Structure 1
Amino acid sequence: MYFLADAGITAFQYGNPDILCKPLVEAKKDGEDLVDAYVKYVKENYGESTESYDQENLKNTSVSENSSDRLWWFQVCTEVAYFQVAPSNDSIRSSIVDTRYHLDLCKNVFGKGIFPDVGATNLYYGGTKIAGSRIVFTNGSQDPWRRASKQISSPEMPSYTITCHNCGHGVDIRGCPQDPFNIEGNEKKCTSPDAVHKVRQKIIEHIDLWLSQCEDPGRSCI
């Protein structure tokens, strides 16, 4: 059930809302069972691939193309938490997927004593007062994770939201639409390619400016 729910989130996160929403809307109009329609969507788009959420798979320490799954979970389990728990009402995600579920996953995969020290993470990185400068923050309008990013622009840390119907996670680099297993994104496939292009140009302008300041002996580029 955890994988089924996250498959829906992934569709939006990576710029594919239509492949999820259209079959569900059609099933609703035709009076069909929505869960059956959702299961069909998952099978057609993800097959039986559940490795990202398989705890036995996450215990595997060998280096492979799927190692990023374990690395992400280690960051979750030790630093940021970001536990995606089931809402209390009207959730397709099982109520079993609560905070305790995630903490047990961390313990099972990485060992006893593993716990996300969010306080230390916020202290080190500055929390809402980010301990850094000359950072460009970009987010796709359809990315659920954008709320965890800096969304208010400032001179030393500009922020841009790329707005379009299928602008998902990493759209500035990967284009649209995306799949977590396909990095060959293309901005021309975005519903607003110009929105992506403009932000890419802004990124270039900021980096060019900051690098030029590093060449000035009277200024620090740190």
Structure 2
Amino acid sequence: MFAGALSAWFRLKFPHLTCGSLASSGVVLAVYNLTEFDQQEVTQLVEEKLASNPKALKATFDATELKIDGDFLYFLADAAAIAFQYGNPDKLCTPMIEAKKAGDDLVNAYANYIKEYYVGGFGAEVETYNQESLKKTTLIAYFQVAPANDSIRSSKVDTRYHLDLCKNVFGEGVYPVVDATNLSKIVFTNGSQDPWRHASKQVSSPSLPSYLISCDNCGHGTDRKGCPLSPLVPEGPYFFGHKQYSLHQSNLFLNKL
């Protein structure tokens, strides 16, 4: 996400030094409320338990340090999205389906997934979610709010939550100027299962080529890292096929010098 965006920003800032740019999973469309990120699952059970016994629920997820409910719900949503973003949906779907079939507690099953995979395997740190959105606030936009339907992100994580967080951290006057940060003339590559692709360019055009790698596990940066992304396997037809597309586009740019 950040490397792809940086590639696009470098092209914008230094056009005299570049003949083109490849933005791999480049998040460059400054979407104010990025609802598309979470149009995947539903989290009603968590909200119900949070309302009845928040301390016990947070303890189940080893996340008692997240005092603000919005921060806690943000943490839970990111944990699910990351499995799809990095090409490992089975890490989440398999244990949840098995728990559902067995009649087990789905919240406990989800807590086990977070502790074993998102924290234990992926390396996420619970305490960082007290400040997780700072990188979004200080950059441009991408408030990951809940869509109206079928959202894994709680409806409590809304625009007001993000704006209040910005105000608490930075004071008055911090507001994303979304239209001022959009740019073009970049080659875009995205994985079909990457939720961030909704903030990239998805429809290709002659001057703004955009390539989508489609497969069950094609996530964030698939064109550079392979599929799945974790564990890292930079090989396979998706990786090499898109590498050829990128080289072809680079040659087109060079031929126009």
| TM bracket (short chain) | 0.7 to 0.9
Within 2, Cα distance between the matches of 1:176 and 1:13?
11
TM-aligned CA deviation for residue 138 of structure 1: 0.5
Residue 97 in 1 paired to residue 173 in 2? Answer: no
Q: Deviations over 1:106-147 (max 9, x none)?
A: 22233321111113334xx3xxxx3xx3x2111101111212
- Alpha carbons of structure 1 residues 109 and 14: separation in structure 2 relative to 1, 3 Å: farther
Within 2, Cα distance between the matches of 1:166 and 1:175?
10
Maintained 8 Å contact 2:136/2:142: no
- Alpha carbons of structure 1 residues 99 and 72: separation in structure 2 relative to 1, 3 Å: closer
Residue 138 in 1 paired to residue 189 in 2? Answer: yes
Q: Which fold has the larger relative contact order, with Cα–Cα distance below 8 Å and residues 6 or more apart in sequence?
A: 2
Residue 86 in 1 paired to residue 146 in 2? Answer: yes
Residue 5 in 1 paired to residue 77 in 2? Answer: yes
CA RMSD of aligned residues (A): 2.2
Spell out the pairing of 1:1-222 with structure 2 (5 A cutoff): 1-47=73-119, 49-55=125-131, 70-75=134-139, 79=140, 81-89=141-149, 91-122=151-182, 125=183, 130=184, 133=185, 135-178=186-229, 185-188=232-235, 193-214=236-257
- Alpha carbons of structure 1 residues 159 and 119: separation in structure 2 relative to 1, 3 Å: closer
Within 2, Cα distance between the matches of 1:90 and 1:10?
17
TM-aligned CA deviation for residue 177 of structure 1: 2.5
Maintained 8 Å contact 1:139/1:170: yes
TM-aligned CA deviation for residue 86 of structure 1: 2.5
Within 1, Cα distance between the matches of 2:210 and 2:151?
32
Query: In structure 2, what residue type is equivalent to 1:107?
Result: K
TM-score by length of 1: 0.73
Maintained 8 Å contact 2:227/2:238: no
Maintained 8 Å contact 1:137/1:149: yes
Long gaps (5+) in structure 2: 1-72
TM-aligned CA deviation for residue 152 of structure 1: 1.8
The percentage of aligned residue pairs carrying the same residue is 58
- Alpha carbons of structure 1 residues 90 and 164: separation in structure 2 relative to 1, 3 Å: closer
TM-score by length of 2: 0.63
- Alpha carbons of structure 1 residues 52 and 158: separation in structure 2 relative to 1, 3 Å: farther
Long gaps (5+) in structure 1: 59-68, 215-222
Number of residue pairs matched by the alignment: 181
Within 1, Cα distance between the matches of 2:105 and 2:155?
21
Match of 1:63 in 2: none
- Tell me the SS of whatever aligns to 1:156: coil
TM-aligned CA deviation for residue 10 of structure 1: 1.3
Within 2, Cα distance between the matches of 1:90 and 1:38?
17
Query: In structure 1, what residue type is equivalent to 2:166?
Result: C
- Alpha carbons of structure 1 residues 91 and 160: separation in structure 2 relative to 1, 3 Å: closer
Within 1, Cα distance between the matches of 2:156 and 2:218?
31
Maintained 8 Å contact 1:74/1:110: no
Within 2, Cα distance between the matches of 1:85 and 1:99?
6
